[in-house]
Every structure is written in C-alpha cells, then in structure tokens.
Amino acid sequence: MLHYSIDGAGLGKLLNTRQIKRMVASYVGENKEFARQYLSGELEVELVPQGTLAEKIRAGGAGIPAFYTHTGIGTLVETGGIPIKYAKDGDVEIFSEPHCTGVFNGKRYVMEQSISGDFALVKAWKADELGNLVFRASANNFNAPMATAGKVTIVEAEEIVPVGELKPGQIHIPGIHVHRIIKSEKNEKKIEKLTVRQDQASETSLPAAMQKRIRIIKRAAREFKDGMYANLGIGMPMLASNYIDPNITVYLQSENGVLGLGPFPTRSEVDPDLINAGKETVTVLQGGSFFSSDVSFGMIRGSRIDMSVLGGMEVSQTGDLANWIVPGKMVKGMGGAVDLVSASGTRVVVTMDHCSKDGSPKILKRCTLPLTGVECVNRIITDMCVFDVVPGKGLLLRELASGCSVDQVRATTGCEFTVASDVAETY
C-alpha cells in the first residue's frame, strides 16, 4: 500500500508528475492535489466502498472472479452514475456502470468483480529470507490482502531476518505469495493526523460551534451500552468516545483493522503504526487486537458490530443517509460508511447539525445528495433534538435539546414528523 492521501508522499509523488491515469479507491483523504485533479478531469477515480475494495482484492488473490454483497444496494454503487471522470467544463465524461444483482434468501445483493494486479507493492515490518511477512499493529490493513493479489509481489521490509527467526504462528502472509524483498533504506513514517490526548478545557471557554458539537457528542455517548461492540465514524462521532460512561465497557472497532481502541496517546505514546480509520494516532486497550482490512469488514458485513455512529450531510424521513459526496464540489469518498450502514442488525446512529450553515434543513422528505444507504438510519441526534426513524411511519421526535421547542424543530426540519407523548428537554 502507498500513501495517496499525503501530498508529496507515496502515490502523491506520481500524482504530481501526472503518472496516474486511474485510481480505484474508497477514500481520497486530505490530498488536495488528488481532489483537484479528479474534479478538473485530469484523473479518473473509481470510488468503491472500502469493505468492498478489501474483498475485491482478497477475492482476486484467491482466484475468485466475482462475489455478491449487500453493500451499496439502492445507491449509485448498484445503479451506476458515480462520476469517474470529469470534463474540463465540469460535466461528467465517464460514469460508473450499473451492477448486476441477485436475490439470495429473499434479499438483494450486488455482484462485484475482483481485482488483481500485475504488481503488488507492500510494506512489511519484518520479512524472512523465504518471504514470510509480519505486519506491525494497524499497518496490517490492506497490506495483507494486497500481498496475495499481484502476479508479482514486491515487499519493502523494515527488517529482513534469517529463516527460523519468525515463528510460524507470527506470520501474517506466507512466502508463497512474495517474489521480491527490498530492505528499507530509511524507515521514516509520515503521520497524517498527529492526535494526542489533551487536558479537557472548560467547555464554557470553547467557541460556540464547538460547544454545539459537544452537546451532540455527549448525547451520542449515552447510546453506548455495557459490552457493546461499536464503530465510530470520522470526526464528531469519534469524539463521543471521550464521554463514554466510565462504569461500562465498550469495545470500539476501526475499519482499518483494530478492535479495542483506547484513548488518544500522549506525545510519548505516539506510534505511527497505530492509527484509526481517520488516520489519527490512537492507543489500544488490554485485550485489543489487530487484523487486516478484509477481516475487519467481514466483522462489519457479518453483523458483529452492535452499533455504528456516523456523521451525516442529509437524512430523509424514512432513514436514507447521504454523507460522502457533493457532486462536482466536494469528494472525500465513501470510506467504510456504505459497508457499515448495509449490515443487517447493526444499529445506525447519525450525529449532525440540524441545519446547514445557510440555515437550510438537513433532515428532509427525500435526500438530494447521492445516498450512502437506503432506510438504514435508526436514530438522528442533532444540536436541537433526537429523532427515531420508525419503519413504515417516518420520524418520531423523542427528545429536545436544552432551550429548544417543538415549534423550533418544526420550523427547521424539512419534513413532517410525529411527537412522542413524553418528549422533553434531556440534554
């Protein structure tokens, strides 16, 4: 795997010299040049849900030409229409194609074709002279499936050790998949988002916008239950972990291959091989574990995650969610969100501002932006209120934020809703 989300590093170097024609990716990250080239039509980008991408690579390495997944049903992933290449005038020259679908046990799935390459470029912590590989901490991520999916796999290893030094149970990828090993000349590891633990500032001294976010975050933290396995999205949802009741235990999972996320590190604890899906430095609690991205999304698709907390750009009255792209203007990629909301049995909680910066409602009769998932949201938590999505009926106003009235919520919500008989200010 190469860093395409850091300007001037990894694939960033090839972007700067215009040596990449098309990227298949799930998340653009913060690379401004990547986004600029895509939106200006200089670069073709095939955006794929992150779990689907991991499985496409794993399947390619296993000789499986295609597979079915529920991820993306009812969205542009299924129907086609995701912009792959823009023209210089801003129009779209190439859209993604519709997917074949199938029905299994009464449920619809899309068919995805696998990916394999002429070359796979992989970074390992240790390799022995037979090509057996060990990855360190969250650096396993896409490296493990990628190592199996190339006709020629080239490994850059921080350390090459004699045969026998790596114990059989330590090895993540057996040498049968590896063709060449190169020892790293230098092991500088760039950290995209250095995030460290800080003393909690007085909330009253924070800017009004941050106080509003904390109101949402604190309410979201009340959704956690003892023993729950939960996944927290990038941004505001991740901050909810700071307010988990200390009397309960919650196991936080990160899509890049971590179970048992702990708090942000102190400066002395920072480890560039230990990051979450948002590229932030993290720690891991006792009993935590690391694994590859394909295993991680197997947990998600297999409904092992009890609850997922995500951000939102728009939510409809029936629980449709849009949170990954504003066509022609903003593109981050869908990351793992499409996978997370497609898992049956996983409770989906959306945290978001009630209105956009211009005052327009973000909770609507129908979403106007491309969907992340269809009828997937169970609860919406905003700076004004809490809505439940009741299947077949629409939105039910459950709670009010301090100082907010039902009339104010009606005036700032773009659809009809019913009001619970016991609605009250609770946060």
Please name the residues in contact with 416: beta carbons below 8 A apart, sequence gap of 6 or more.
317, 365, 394, 395
Q: Are 28 and 5 in contact (CB under 8 A)?
A: yes
Instruction: Provide the CB-side half-sphere exposure for 370 (13 A, CA).
Output: 24
Q: Which residues pair with 120 in a beta bridge?
A: 153
**Count of beta carbons in the 10 Å neighbourhood of residue 235:** 12
Give backbone dihedrals phi and psi of 152, rounded to 5 degrees, phi first. -130, 120
Position 354, amino acid: H
* 93 counts as catalytic: no
Catalytic-role residue among 78, 255, 280, 399: 255
Instruction: Return d(Cα 328, Cα 38) in angstroms, integer.
Output: 9
Phi, psi of 301 (to 5 degrees): -65, -30
Between CA 193 and CA 262, with CA 210 as vertex, the angle to 5 degrees is: 45
Structural contact between residues 295 and 289, judged by C-beta atoms closer than 8 angstroms:
no
Letter string b/e over residues 211-230, b meaning 16 or more CB atoms within 10 A of that residue's CB: ebbbbbbbbbbbbbeeebbb
Measured distance CA(290)–CA(222) in Å, rounded: 27
CA distance 279 to 109: 30
Q: What is d(CA 192, CA 378) in angstroms, rounded to the nearest whole number?
A: 32
Which residues are catalytically annotated?
255
